[in-house]
Amino acid sequence: MSSASRDSVTVVLDWGTTSFRAFLVDREGSIVEAKESAQGIQSVPKGEHARVLSHALAAWRNEHGPLAIVAAGMIGSRNGWLEMPYVPTPAKAADFAAASRMIDLPEGDRVMFLPGLTDPTAFPFPDVMRGEETQLVGFGLEENIVVVLPGTHSKWAEIRNGRIERFRTFVTGEIFATLANHSFLSKVATAKANHATDAFAEGVALARDDSGKAGGLLTRLFAVRTGWLAGKIAPEEMKSRLSGLIVGWEFAEARAGGWFKDGDTIAVVGDDDMVEVYEAVARAFGVRLAAAPADAAIRGALAISGRGRR
Amino acid sequence: MSSASRDSVTVVLDWGTTSFRAFLVDREGSIVEAKESAQGIQSVPKGEHARVLSHALAAWRNEHGPLAIVAAGMIGSRNGWLEMPYVPTPAKAADFAAASRMIDLPEGDRVMFLPGLTDPTAFPFPDVMRGEETQLVGFGLEENIVVVLPGTHSKWAEIRNGRIERFRTFVTGEIFATLANHSFLSKVATAKANHATDAFAEGVALARDDSGKAGGLLTRLFAVRTGWLAGKIAPEEMKSRLSGLIVGWEFAEARAGGWFKDGDTIAVVGDDDMVEVYEAVARAFGVRLAAAPADAAIRGALAISGRGRR
């Protein structure tokens, strides 16, 4: 029974720190059904993950029989269900499969935990990712290209010769969120950031300025306040301005670090809204954009687990 | 009556966003008595400042007669008692006196509000300070030197030919506070930052590294997390490491902006604890330190108001 049902569908699990998401997909990678809740791993006591997961997926199990579940990302971290190792760069898709781990659950479900990825060449400590490596595999490792994965901790990865060659993290999303919600801005700024505004574009332009007259990031950030004091930035423009400046600064740092130069082609992989933001900044920095699938995480989970269409 | 009592003592008012501090000082600038409360300007409704101040200083008025009060800083801002103008750089002590404003209160007290300072050469918007200009006057404008004033919004100012020539703001304290309290660090980090630790010194060293291998600030900040994941940074070391890195990065940006070079002499002016932190970083960056008085704000208020010893 179980092997037949397990062949027809796969559950791709995206169980993060503050949210639970599960996708029931067919062998083509098409989403048959999705479940989402706010029960992130930080709200689940150690030892309770199997029970919570079994309960959440009961309806799918009733319909399809015992489930094959593929789990990447933070559920396999120190604060999650179990701590999976990190595969070192350079890494190809088969390396992730070889380092995965299977756990059989009481109801007959089988969970395949995927490992993370570490870049031991980072200074001063090895860099790490959990989940983005699966998105990179889903994007495809055939062409040599730099891929940006926006997020709280944005990643820049280089794909070369069918492998993830190296990557670096930028804490862009975290800096934006903490400043937008807890700084001098938070009492004045009103509207959410919107990348389709002049304020966002002006923030990007300020990040791109390399004449030296604007100072470094710590000084440029203050310009959101001084622009408001000077009557040049309205309260509803402040977060857009901040977003453009900080994401733009990520590109300025990446350019200085040799990740791209004017006219290069890169790809942006992730959720639609953040991809739009990053693509807007990439264009402002003179970068061409390669097409990228919206469902890279699901494609990657199927590819690494061998459960996709061959 | 009032003129006699007003000659003997001065009240220097430091009424900030979240705290009220007042110092009763003699003509030598010595503190006779101090009052402090948590009644910052943000907790006082518009129009109520005179009443709150009169009540807070009643005992001093009873003893010394109507008071001469000098007020610099945020009490003279848009969110304070009244919005004072900004004097433009380059500015000398007399320029602040000329732009000050007197208000007589019902009980006979007289408040002298000091203006702020703006640097119209900053890009893309004029830079601003409120209160630090008074500290700079109290430090003294006789020698040509760069002065650093640590804080939520740290200032670097150049004193030249008896004037404050230019200045720039760095949002160092704000970045540290928001990351220490609201980021990935906040759930793991334990002890407060301590500049007398190896972790702080290692953070400074990472900021100072200009080989390019460590990336920019957005990447270096992530090393506080990866160092913890690698078992190289203990939870109690994380905030010290972060503090050293961020204050160190302020110095790296200031050096890149031409504010100092190896072997230069600068001064650090402010509260004792932050002065110690900044002086530790300055030494790590190969800078010599000029002596600076701890009571620069009081000296400056007396000097600008003409109420100090001639």
Give the A:B interface size as CB pairs under 8 Å: 140
> CA angle, B124 as apex, B118 and B127 as ends, to 5°?
20
Give residue A1's pLDDT: 41
Instruction: Mark which residues 229-288 of A lie under 8 Å from B by CB.
Output: 229-230, 232, 249-250, 252-253, 256-257
Of B122, B125, B215, the CB nearest to A232: B125
Give residue B79's pLDDT: 87
Give residue B155's pLDDT: 98
Q: Give pLDDT tens digits for A249-267.
A: 999 999 999 999 999 999 9
**Which of B219, B229, B242 should be substituted to probe chain A, the one whose Cβ sees the most A Cβ atoms within 10 Å?**
B219
Of B214, B229, B256, the CB nearest to A123: B214
**Which of B86, B117, B125 should be substituted to probe chain A, the one whose Cβ sees the most A Cβ atoms within 10 Å?**
B125
CB-based contact, B1 to chain A, within 8 Å: no
- Give the confidence band of A184 by pLDDT, cuts at 50, 70, 90: confident
Calculate mean pLDDT across residues A1-10. Answer: 65
**Which of B174, B233, B243 should be substituted to probe chain A, the one whose Cβ sees the most A Cβ atoms within 10 Å?**
B174
B249 and A218: CB-CB below 8 Å?
yes
What are the strands of the beta sheet with A31-37, ordered from one edge? A31-37, A20-26, A9-15, A68-71, A110-113, A101-104
Chain B residues close to A88, C-beta within 8 Å: none
Give residue B18's pLDDT: 87
State how far the Cα of A220 lies from the Cα of B253, in Å rounded to an integer: 11
Cβ contacts of A310 within 8 Å, gap of 6 or more: none
Chain A residues close to B124, C-beta within 8 Å: 206, 214, 223, 227
Give residue B5's pLDDT: 55
Give residue A6's pLDDT: 64
Which ipTM value was assigned to this complex? Answer: 0.93
Q: Give pLDDT tens digits for B61-78.
A: 999 999 999 999 999 998
Dihedrals φ, ψ of A248, to 5°?
-60, -40
Q: Say which amino acid occupies B43.
A: S
Q: Can you tell me which residue has the tokens 């730099």?
A: A146
SS3 string, B226-242, reads HHHHCCCCCHHHHHHHH
Q: Give pLDDT tens digits for A56-107.
A: 999 999 999 999 999 999 999 988 999 999 999 999 999 999 999 999 999 9
Helix-then-strand count for chain B, H and E: 12, 14
Calculate mean pLDDT across residues A26-52. Answer: 93
Look over chain A and give the mean of its residue pLDDT values, rounded to a whole number.
95
